[in-house]
Amino acid sequence: MAASGDRQAKKSKRPISHYSGGGSRSAAGALQPNRIYQMDCLGGLKRLRGQVSVIVTSPPYNIGKPYSTYHDDRPNHEYLEWMGRVARACKESLAEDGSLFLNIGGKPSDPLTPLKVVQRFGNVLALQNTIIWVKSIAISEEDIPKGRGIDEDISFGHYQPVNGPAFLNGCFEYIFHFTKKGRNDLDKLSVGVCYQDKSNVGRWQRVVADKRDRGNTWFIPYETINESRPHPSSFPVKLPEMCIKLHGVKRTKLVVDPFMGIGSTAVASARLDVPFIGFEVDPTYIKIAEKRVSGLQN
Ligand SMILES: C[S@@+](CC[C@H](N)C(=O)[O-])C[C@H]1O[C@@H](n2cnc3c(N)ncnc32)[C@H](O)[C@@H]1O
């Protein structure tokens, strides 16, 4: 996943001068920006009290993914209790106007667990927006407006096929946007899309450019790679990139991913030239993440 997306990545304008390389171990004192710490995120988040502008993260889903260190099959009550502790630690680390984007999905046969996780986060933070991350979509020819030059059924993106007659293929996941007060102003047009009906531009005083709010369904396909995936559940770099932009790049002082994996949030932050900090328990993933980020500088 890292490869093709990152090769196309724009070079970061600011060299990542503090970038540690070699996997930063937890150390006493202040955490340094542009580093990924090999440590438990609960301990890491505690050290960032009130400093974080944006958290973008995808925790383990407790669905038995084959991570190389972490065991993704805890008893459900224990997992949910842990997610509650992560939620409280995230809240403590967030600045007053900070945003937390929680990406989560589940198994088609167990659709409630991700919602129970959200409930834990909702106990400590306000749920401001719910975004559906569309990973794959199929559109029938009859539903495509005439004159678009498309005269057949089309489908885009990748999904995990589900066997058996009971459950549909999983084509989406959630991105829950939490804030402290539930009313943060957002930079909606930074991830906006063009109007379909161009007569909207200029007709309304508030519409000054051909851009409208994209809304809360985001089609983000997985990046295509040729080699095998180095991590069983990384998200596309575009996902954290859009979240940071929506929060507002100019007012983002620090991005944190408590479950950094192979560094998609770090790559997105570096592309946008905003400082990041990550936590991850697996040193192999950290090495890959570091390679991906330093690759942006070359
Ligand atoms: C869903 S993956 C995140 C993938 C990441 N978004 C990416 O794009 O690469 C969750 C990650 O959390 C890590 N992890 C599990 N427990 C952790 C903990 N207590 N603190 C930090 N990281 C942890 C796992 O090793 C795994 O890489």
For ligand 1, atom 12, the nearest C-alpha belongs to: 259
- Residue 148 pLDDT grade (very low, low, confident, very high; cuts 50, 70, 90): confident
Q: How far apart are the first and last CA of the chain?
A: 19
Q: pLDDT at position 11, please? A: 39
Q: Is the pLDDT of residue 3 over 50?
A: no
Q: Which two tokens stand for residue 243?
A: 């979240």
Pocket test for ligand 1, best of 78, 237, 259, 267 (most atoms within 8 A of CB): 259
Give the containing element (helix H, strand E) for 199.
none
Q: pLDDT at position 16, please? A: 33
Q: pLDDT at position 31, please? A: 96
pLDDT in tens, 65-114: 999 999 999 999 999 999 999 999 999 999 999 999 999 999 989 999 99
Answer whether 34's CB lies under 8 Å from 16's CB. Answer: yes
Q: pLDDT at position 195, please? A: 82
Q: What is the C-alpha to C-alpha distance for residues 264 and 235, in angstroms, rounded to an integer?
A: 7
Q: Tokens 């990041």 belong to which residue? A: 276
Q: What is the C-alpha to C-alpha distance for residues 95 and 128, in angstroms, rounded to an integer?
A: 16
Whether 58 lines ligand 1, by a CB cut-off of 6 Å, is yes
Whether 241 lines ligand 1, by a CB cut-off of 6 Å, is no
Q: Is the pLDDT of residue 202 over 60?
A: yes
Return the ligand 1 atom nearest residue 260 CA. Answer: 5
Q: Which two tokens stand for residue 47?
A: 């050290």
Q: How far is the CA of 285 from the centre of ligand 1 (A)?
A: 9
Q: Which two tokens stand for residue 3?
A: 């490869």
Domains along the chain with CATH numbers: 2-140+154-295 (3.40.50.150)
In the DSSP assignment, the letter for residue 138 is E
- Residue 214 pLDDT grade (very low, low, confident, very high; cuts 50, 70, 90): very high
